[in-house]
Amino acid sequence: MWDAWQGGSVSADVAATSWLPARAWHDRQRQRLASLLQAAAEDSPLYRRIIGKRDPRYIALHELPVLQKTELMSRFDEWVTDPRLRLPALQRFLEDSQAIGQPYLGQYHVWESSGSSGEPGVFVQDAQALAVYDALEALRRPVMQPMRRWFDPWYASERMAFVGATTGHFASTVTVRRLCRLNPWMAARLRSFSFLQPLPALLAQLEEHAPTVLATYPTVAWALAEQAAAGRLQLSLQEVWTGGEALTPAMRIAISRGFGCPVAQSYGASEFLSLASECRCHGLHLNSDWAILESVDDRHRPVPPGTAGSTTLLTNLANRVQPIIRYELGDRVTLHDACCDCGSVLPLIEVQGRVDDSIVLDDAQGQAVRLPPLAFTTVLEDEAGVFDFQLRQQDGRALLLEIGASGRDGDAQVGRARAALLRYLDAQGLAGVSVEERCGAPGERGRSGKVQRVVARAALR
């Protein structure tokens, strides 16, 4: 799964393109799009029919149809370019937690998306895609402490901690496991910690590992920063890396103050791991040499620069085994044509991604316990198999779970979801918090345009 020549070639290109004139990444983007369409037309039965007899080299992107996850997953075996990849076998592979980070068929890595749009996805990554993601993460991550990086550019002296959902084949978890397998040095200095375990256990494990770099979701970093500010978590962090959710200005301030170190964000998705990275001016720069984002209205027409679209279309120029072309990502993105003060020629974007809220509940002693929204969604998806839901806080000791399914299927989902939620709350010292259920209820949409799946009584904005 690791080709040193390919990795070095991609890394050199990523490093160079970051500072070349804008026409350089435009040229690379055009060449890679033509190559992607050629490969898709040759090896994907789905795209062979879509492209037909047209010459892929001369097809404009807007001439191709917009495709949604639901349709593509229903036609998975036609979508992929390797006929050995079949969805039932991949789903069995994803059910095995012991296989996280292991190669599939000896040449692919596979991860699953959460069901934030109501439909979980399965995404297969080939060697080129992985080399691209690795290079973008390594070379375009912001340098928050220049002097420290000058003496240690490869983070050799750092101890890193990833806090997230560690029992599923999610992109971040698979990536951490894969990197640790490839690099024995990293395996000793990078550890993963589950955010589903009781908070005291998580705090103790983090203190034992003593990381200098923390990578996690903004809401998780915020909850841990509160513990640090209250003296219940003793860490000497130098940097906090966040992604997977929107990082609000208020969150950035709270995390930075709690840990006493700078905070940076990135933007990615299961469909493309490293879409954008933050610069020293806190702007998000799209990796346009390897990914194309189209910000569009609700009829999939392009919106002007500086305007937030209703949804976003993604074209992944790195992945040849599972062509992602004009794929409806669902996030609301604003593309800017202004130059950034940092000097990068890569486009600036603003993202209104996930807008789920942290929920603060009261334990039996009246002490506030902050729970990140991704913990709730992971419990409901992984343990209960429920994807179409909205969890709303009623008060400090009460939750309302609304599930889209109705009838017999809805009743079965409610039973599984209630049991999973109560187990999780009990593990967090919140026994006695009530959970009311309702079937067949539509969810309330958040700022991103997606259904907001975890809604607090009062969220930090």
pLDDT of residue 144: 84
User: What does the block give as tokens for 246?
Assistant: 């929107």
Average pLDDT, integer, range 364-392: 90
Q: What is the distance of C-alpha 115 from the center of its chain?
A: 12
The band of 443, judged by pLDDT with boundaries at 50, 70 and 90, is low
HSE-up of 209 (CA within 13 Å, CB side)? Answer: 24
Could you report the per-residue pLDDT of 271-306, keeping only the tens digit for each? 999 999 999 889 999 999 999 999 999 899 999 999
Strand-strand pairing, 291-296 and 311-316: antiparallel
Could you report the per-residue pLDDT of 179-199, keeping only the tens digit for each? 888 888 888 899 999 999 999
Classify domain 4-352 at the CATH superfamily level. Answer: ANL, N-terminal domain (3.40.50.12780)
pLDDT of residue 452: 80
Q: Nearest 5 degrees, angle CA 372-CA 375-CA 380?
A: 135
- Residues 210, 96: Cα–Cα separation, whole Å: 30
The band of 25, judged by pLDDT with boundaries at 50, 70 and 90, is confident
> Is residue 343 left, alpha or beta, with left meaning phi > 0 and alpha meaning psi from -120 to 50?
left
pLDDT of residue 355: 63
Asked if residue 116 has pLDDT above 60, the reply is no
Q: Identify which of 76, 67, 120 has the alpha carbon closest to the alpha carbon of residue 294.
A: 67
What's the pTM value of the predicted model, to 2 decimals? 0.85
- Residues 340, 247: Cα–Cα separation, whole Å: 20
Sequence-distant (≥ 6) Cβ neighbours of residue 290 within 8 angstroms: 32, 132, 136, 272, 316, 317, 318
Burial category of 218 from C-beta neighbours within 10 Å (exposed 0-12, middle 13-18, buried 19 and up): buried
| Torsion over CA: 399, 456, 205, 383 (sign) | positive
CATH assignment of 359-455, given 1.10.10, 3.30.70, 3.30.300, 1.10.3470? 3.30.300
Average pLDDT, integer, range 59-65: 96
Q: Identify which of 273, 316, 274, 266 has the alpha carbon closest to the alpha carbon of residue 291.
A: 316
Rg (CA), the chain: 22
Range 154-157 contact pairs with CB under 8 angstroms and sequence separation of 24 or more: 155/213, 156/185, 157/212
| SS3 at position 320 | coil
Determine what percent of the chain is predicted with pLDDT higher than 70: 94
pLDDT of residue 460: 39
Q: Identify which of 357, 362, 378 has the alpha carbon closest to the alpha carbon of residue 423.
A: 378
The band of 156, judged by pLDDT with boundaries at 50, 70 and 90, is confident
Select the more confidently predicted residue: 145 or 92.
Answer: 92
- Residues 293, 283: Cα–Cα separation, whole Å: 16
Q: Which of 56-65, 387-396, 445-454 has the lowest mean pLDDT?
A: 445-454
- Residues 388, 116: Cα–Cα separation, whole Å: 8
Tell me the residue type at 423.
Answer: R
- Residues 456, 461: Cα–Cα separation, whole Å: 11
pLDDT of residue 461: 37
| Structural domain spans, the chain | 4-352, 359-455
| SS3 at position 241 | strand
